[in-house]
Amino acid sequence: SAAPVVVAPAMDGEMYAHPATQANVDRLRSFGYALVEPEVGPLASGATGQGRLAETARILDAVVEAVAGRAIRAADEAQRPPVDETLREPDLEGRHLIVTAGGTAEPIDPVRFIGNRSTGRMGVALAEAALRRGARVTLICGATSVPLPAEAEIRPAPTAAAMRDAVLSVLPQADALIMAAAVADFRPTRVSERKVARSEGLILELEPTDDILAEATRRITRGELAAGRPNGAGRDRRPVVVGFAAETGSLDRAPDKAERKGVDLLVANDITDEASGFGSETNRVTLIVPGSDPEPWPVLPKIEVAHRLLDRVSALLVLRDALNAAGASSVA
């Protein structure tokens, strides 16, 4: 809840004085929570000390003070107290994830390129969240302007073509592919080997780049990955595929895009929304699961979007493994 929080603890006196309790009390205060200290007096154990629940009037005063002057508003998810990252379950241990991040740069000549405004923040948040949950992460990066996690295996991929090669070479070993990168849709048909002089003028002819996501899902559905798997024989280790769709204005096209690209999950957002723009700390996304109603998520810090998305990826992997196990035992 984004509502103000008032805590009125009560316990036996020695417990309240214990450094562990006091550390927790300080922690609650650090979230901005109001604390109504317990009162001194006889306690349930028969001892006397600080531990009695504060009088109702004092608790009410604290509540009134906490809400006074606050406009009534919808919950602002971005204002939630910080998530304790160390408490995540290592549910992705033994899984290998490919995450792409940043924007590709398609060269015009040795100096110039066609690029985009992606900073890589969402992809990097996904890589960090996956690492915390015990995954091995290959982070395939275009141009980024945020620090990259040192524990990830970083593969630079400056152009759409380089990113395609990197993704397809790692895909046979991966349990999931998350395409958070902003891949150029068009590149110059010809790249000049020398700098084009201003006096020459410049009209660019563009050609579409290969659609990496579509190609990855095509290879997966055709069963072309098994050959590249270390222990792949007979075992369906089909990777879970997640796409992103940066739209402007309406997300109406997103469900079609999810079907067309053959992804398991599509994360759509409206980049004209100030909570979701490039480089923003937060994101407001709608999750598309083909065949189900779109799920609009609230505005969340990007790391929280990453964890919620990984919850879904993790669940799909558990389901995949359970189906494989059921298939294997029915064959046996």
Give contact residues for ligand CTP (rule: CB under 6 A).
160, 179, 181, 183, 185, 209, 211-213, 243-246, 257
Nearer to ligand CTP, 13 or 172 (CB): 172
Please report how close the Cβ of residue 28 comes to ligand CTP at its closest, in angstroms: 40
Least separation in angstroms between residue 319's CB and ligand CTP is 22
Nearer to ligand CTP by Cβ, of 38 and 243: the residue is 243
Q: How far is CA 34 from CA 5, 52, 84, in A?
A: 6, 17, 20
Please report how close the Cβ of residue 275 comes to ligand CTP at its closest, in angstroms: 19
H-run or E-run covering 321: helix 302-331
Asked about 116 being catalytic, the answer comes back as yes
Write the CB contacts of 307 (distance below 8 Å, at least 6 apart in sequence): 83, 88, 129
The CB-of-321 to ligand CTP minimum distance in angstroms stands at 25
User: Pick the catalytic residue: 116, 231, 269, 324?
Assistant: 116
Both structure tokens of 236: 């369906």
User: Contact at 8 Å (CB) between 118 and 180?
Assistant: no
The dihedral through the CA atoms of 153, 158, 162, 167 has a sign that is positive
C-beta separation of 85 from 128 below 8 A: no
How many Cβ atoms sit within 10 Å of the Cβ of residue 92? 24
Neighbouring CB atoms inside 10 A of 8's CB total 17
CB nearer to ligand CTP: give 170 or 213. Answer: 213
Instruction: Give the containing element (helix H, strand E) for 59.
Output: helix 56-67
Residue nearest to ligand CTP (CB): 212
Given the complex with ligand CTP, which of 270 and 304 has the nearer CB atom? 270
Among the listed residues 236, 329, 330, 247, the one whose alpha carbon sits nearest the alpha carbon of residue 294: 247
Nearer to ligand CTP, 10 or 191 (CB): 191
Tell me how far, at minimum, the Cβ of 212 lies from ligand CTP, in Å. 3
Q: Which residues are catalytic?
A: 116
